[in-house]
Amino acid sequence: MTDHDDRTVLTYDQVKEAGLGDWRWLVQALHARFATGDFATGLRLAGAIGAAAEEAGHHPDLDLRYPFLAVRLVSHDVGGVTDRDLRLARRISEIAAAQGVPAAPAEVQALELALDTADHAAVLPFWQALLGYADSPLYPGREIFDADGRLPTVWTQSTEPHETPRQRWHLDVVVPIEEAQARIDAALAAGGVLVSADAAPAFWVLADPEGNKACVCTPEGRSGE
């Protein structure tokens, strides 16, 4: 039992304590990937998940590909993970196990577009209007997102005022904590450089050979500031 209801947005630590082995919390949502091996198996699993979702009255985002099924769970009405998502995540894992479909948590990831700005209030409404995004319930005025879950979240990151040209947009590649070092190592082996690890394990700043920066991020130590 918990002391919150189905509309209470859970923290990363609370989700982590729930012990969902198949799932990873990335960018305010639960993500899982099931290695179906073929399209027909994916269809069967998707159908069973759909039936469970109808029974629960709570519906995940399904992305069926060959040879995997990716599942994303979030309570859209409150903009984060709640007990509803934990219950359905457990049920989906049970269904996949019963069908003999293994989870592949090392393969989940999420992408954020991060904009460095000294004035969130001035710039974010433009991007919200341009993209047709919604304001984040968790980080209003700092983050906007695609309510349909199709496109990357846009996050604004504080910086001092500066003149262009200077890199303003960068990619935040969000991976499970246990996968971060492998992703960093791969980027370095591909010619990148490590710019800073000061904020690790929340994020590491890397750059390509021309100096264009990107971040490898994890849910560990992240906050709205």
Indicate which CATH number applies to the domain containing 187.
3.10.180.10
Give the per-residue SS3 of 91-127: HHHHHHHHCCCCECHHHCCEEEEEEEECCHHHHHHHH
- Residues 130 and 154 reside in one and the same domain: yes
Q: Are 146 and 133 in contact (CB under 8 A)?
A: yes
Most distant CA pair in the chain: distance in Å?
57
Kindly report the number of other CB atoms within 10 A of residue 96's CB atom: 22
- Domain containing 49 equals 12-107
Q: What are the tens digits of pLDDT across the range 164-187?
A: 557 788 999 999 999 999 999 999
3 — pLDDT class (breaks 50, 70, 90): low
Report the DSSP pairing between strands 153-158 and 110-117: parallel
Q: What are the tens digits of pLDDT across the range 141-171?
A: 999 988 888 889 999 988 888 775 577 889 9
Q: What are the tens digits of pLDDT across the range 79-133?
A: 899 999 999 999 999 999 999 999 999 999 999 999 988 888 888 998 999 889 9
- Residues 39 and 102 reside in one and the same domain: yes
- Residues 118 and 86 reside in one and the same domain: no
- Residues 99 and 194 reside in one and the same domain: no
pTM, two decimals, is 0.86
Nearest alpha-carbon partner for 25 in 177, 213, 182, 189? 177
Q: What are the tens digits of pLDDT across the range 89-101?
A: 999 999 999 999 9
Nearest alpha-carbon partner for 157 in 147, 168, 145, 173? 168
